[in-house]
């Protein structure tokens, strides 16, 4: 398997413009995040169509998020690291940023990033590498809470006492120094010396801060939580701002410091200059900000009013996935961290975890309707993705089912809101964020009525989200919309409207400005794609015979649809008397293209030549 990943990573590197273009590689639970120096040599089409790639997110300069799914993301990132690619990144240069802006204007396919959105993504970049530790610590805290609940006299039983203490030790090891980890990562992200950022973050949690506060009269001994300054004040928010200051100071000092003494005096002066404003200004200010955040969520998630909690829970889950689609969910990790530091648990995450359950319920409703209309292809896709969905891994259902169909993506959120209302009404909390679905049971152990009660309520919330999403989707999405004949009719009508081009029996053709040119079979076969000689814009058509034993099934259909979305064009594929739009995995599978089936691919638009080349290359490697 290792050699298999080596080959795949080699292809990733090629499509990303070569090793010299890659600046940093990190990963989260389902994505490999790659930062490049220049976007111009990156082949997004081939990257989307690569094996194991479920999707590609490119919504900020010089950053590509390759969705490969849980487990695989870690293996890919590890292979990148073995090849010498580091997690620390450098800021993209002016040329790369200019190329990004030009590309967005040319394609007119992405909105300009706002400063708020960029700031939220920055928080995500800082916390993503911390997620494995966050999940491990949270699971240990959850198991420890269940032990206390199920075995009340665990302290008197050696084996249970030993297990409990080991679990608690792992949890404390992370939570005690969360600010240090955040400082280290922030320094990497801002281009400062990581250990200096870690030191600044660790200072935040040391007892000496409270002693300094006492000397300056900023510490309330009667009620330490009301102190203007105390240990932990400001938390990770203060650390991120403090490290940003530290990075600016360090760069300024280093630019003036002689190289012979740089390693000695630059870090010393940087810390001495930064620690005073950090402790006396940044920590108190962001302490009030953190308190404000906690106050807001306490009055919503922990409100004494049941109605307020129910509404807050419903809206949180109903809006979560659209928030993810808009790329605005990154800032939530800072909110989670603030709650963990201030409360010891998270009140918002249990409600948001219901969003994945909504995807499951909606997909089951689609499966039932697909069965009634004989849509075997869609049923196959859903059946393959549901097990992962039940375990809280939503990408297969989102990319393969609900998002391509559109409306079910929204109805899933509407149904999930009811499950979120249940868990929020019961005031349950989680020990971490990350695990959801059935796997989330082990971290939903916080709440006013004990760990076991919280776990039971969470399971009830999941069931409610499944059922409500099923009902809403079942009512809102008509059976005839999933009927293969209806899909064929719609696709054929769309294809005829777009095409207006006569049938040509050659292997490959290019049409430009209304003038048709038939490229002979020999000429087409002489080129790998046959599209290289095509004009920069216009219409292109070629044929391909499926060679793969399994035909055009769910995975290649999904990858092909993602590949096409990288180009400014329309792609129509015909086979077995049907014509469908190639940007829909479901419609592609409706073709029933088994081994030996001849596909007719028609491409029209500004990027017709490039898209045809990428599609043909994908088919030759995959089908």
Using alpha carbons, list the distances in angstroms from residue 27 to 69, 86, 392: 11, 11, 18
CB atoms closer than 10 angstroms to residue 152: 9
* Structure tokens that stand for 565 in this block: 């979305």
Nearest to 363 by CA among 397, 322, 387, 327: 397
468 is catalytic: no
Q: Tell me the C-alpha distance between 354 and 412, whole Å.
A: 10
Using alpha carbons, list the distances in angstroms from residue 398 to 69, 113, 358, 413, 528: 12, 24, 11, 12, 33
Using alpha carbons, list the distances in angstroms from residue 106 to 16, 292, 296, 402, 567: 20, 43, 42, 29, 11
DSSP secondary structure string for all residues of 478-529:
-GGGG-HHHHHHHHHHHHHHHH------SSEEEEETTEEEEEPHHHHHHSSS
* HSE-up (13 A, CA, CB side) for residue 616: 25
Using alpha carbons, list the distances in angstroms from residue 76 to 3, 23, 29, 618: 12, 16, 12, 21
DSSP 112: P
Q: Tell me the C-alpha distance between 606 and 106, whole Å.
A: 10
What's phi and psi for 102, nearest 5 deg?
Answer: -65, -40
CB 615 within 8 Å of CB 571? yes
Q: Tell me the C-alpha distance between 194 and 256, whole Å.
A: 20
Give every CB contact of residue 68 below 8 A, 6+ residues apart in sequence: 30, 31, 32, 52, 53, 54, 76
DSSP 26: E
Q: Taking the CA atoms of the chain, what radius of gyration do you get in angstroms?
A: 27
* Structure tokens that stand for 57 in this block: 């997110």
What's phi and psi for 36, nearest 5 deg?
Answer: -115, 160
- The three-state secondary structure class of 24 is strand
Q: What is the largest CA-CA distance in the chain?
A: 89
What string of H, E and C letters represents the secondary structure of 537-593?
CEEEEEEEECCCCCCCCHHHHHHHHHHHCCCCEEEEEEECCEEEECCCHHHHHHCCC
308: left (phi over 0), alpha (psi -120 to 50) or beta: alpha
- Apex CA 360: angle with CA 358 and CA 364, to 5°? 120
CB atoms closer than 10 angstroms to residue 525: 11
Q: Tell me the C-alpha distance between 618 and 623, whole Å.
A: 8
| Catalytic (active-site) positions | 28
């Amino acid at each position: 398997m290792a050699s298999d990943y080596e080959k795949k990573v080699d292809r990733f590197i090629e499509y990303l413009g070569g090793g010299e273009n890659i600046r940093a590689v990190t990963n989260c639970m389902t994505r490999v995040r790659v930062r490049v120096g220049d976007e111009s040599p990156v082949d997004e089409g081939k990257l989307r169509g690569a094996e194991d790639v479920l999707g590609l997110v490119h919504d900020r300069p010089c950053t590509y998020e390759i969705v490969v799914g849980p487990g695989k993301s870690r293996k890919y990132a590890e292979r990148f690291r073995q090849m010498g690619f580091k997690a620390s990144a450098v800021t993209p240069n002016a040329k790369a940023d200019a190329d990004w802006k030009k590309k967005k204007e040319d394609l007119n396919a992405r909105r300009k990033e706002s400063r708020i959105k960029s700031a939220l993504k920055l928080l995500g970049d800082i916390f993503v590498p911390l997620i494995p530790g966050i999940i491990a610590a949270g699971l240990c805290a959850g198991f420890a809470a269940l032990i206390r609940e199920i075995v009340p006299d665990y302290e008197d039983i050696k084996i249970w006492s030993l297990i409990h203490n080991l679990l608690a030790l792992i949890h404390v090891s992370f939570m005690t120094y969360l600010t240090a980890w955040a400082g280290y990562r922030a320094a990497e992200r801002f281009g400062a010396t990581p250990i200096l950022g870690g030191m600044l973050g660790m200072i935040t949690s040391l007892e000496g801060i409270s002693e300094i506060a006492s000397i300056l009269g900023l510490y309330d001994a009667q009620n330490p939580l009301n102190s203007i300054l105390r240990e932990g004040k400001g938390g990770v928010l203060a650390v991120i701002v403090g490290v940003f200051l530290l990075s600016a100071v360090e760069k300024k000092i280093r630019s003036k410091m002689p190289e012979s003494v740089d390693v000695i005096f630059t870090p010393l002066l940087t810390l001495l200059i930064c620690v005073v404003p950090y402790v006396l200004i940044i920590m108190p200010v962001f302490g009030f900000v953190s308190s404000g955040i906690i106050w807001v969520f306490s009055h919503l998630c922990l409100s004494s009013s049941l109605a307020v909690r129910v509404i807050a829970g419903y809206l949180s889950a109903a809006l979560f996935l659209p928030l993810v689609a808009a790329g605005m969910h990154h800032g939530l990790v800072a909110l989670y961290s603030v709650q963990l530091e201030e409360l010891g648990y998270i009140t918002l995450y249990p409600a948001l975890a219901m969003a994945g359950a909504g995807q499951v319920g909606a997909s089951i409703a689609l499966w039932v309707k697909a069965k009634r209309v004989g849509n075997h292809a869609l049923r196959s896709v859903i059946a393959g993705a549901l097990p992962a969905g039940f375990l809280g891994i939503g990408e297969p259902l989102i990319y393969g089912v609900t998002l391509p169909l559109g409306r079910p993506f929204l109805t899933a959120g509407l149904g999930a809101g009811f499950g979120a209302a249940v868990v929020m009404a019961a005031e349950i909390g989680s020990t971490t964020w990350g695990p959801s679905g059935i796997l989330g049971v082990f971290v939903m152990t916080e709440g006013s009525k004990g760990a076991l009660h919280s776990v039971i309520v969470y399971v009830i919330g999941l069931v409610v989200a499944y059922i409500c999403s099923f009902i809403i989707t079942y009512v809102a999405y008509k059976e005839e919309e999933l009927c293969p004949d209806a899909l064929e009719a719609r696709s054929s009508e769309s294809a005829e409207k777009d095409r207006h081009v006569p049938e040509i029996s050659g292997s490959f053709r290019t049409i430009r400005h209304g003038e048709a040119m038939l490229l002979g079979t020999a000429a087409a076969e002489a080129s790998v794609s046959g599209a290289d000689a095509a004009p920069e814009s216009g219409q292109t058509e070629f044929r391909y015979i499926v060679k793969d034993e399994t035909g055009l099934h769910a995975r290649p259909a999904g990858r092909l649809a993602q590949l096409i979305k990288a180009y400014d064009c329309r792609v129509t594929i015909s086979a077995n008397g049907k014509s469908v739009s190639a940007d829909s995995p479901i419609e592609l599978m409706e073709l029933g293209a088994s081994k030996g089936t001849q596909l007719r691919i028609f491409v029209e638009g500004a990027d017709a030549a490039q898209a045809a080349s990428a599609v043909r290359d994908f088919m030759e490697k995959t089908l």
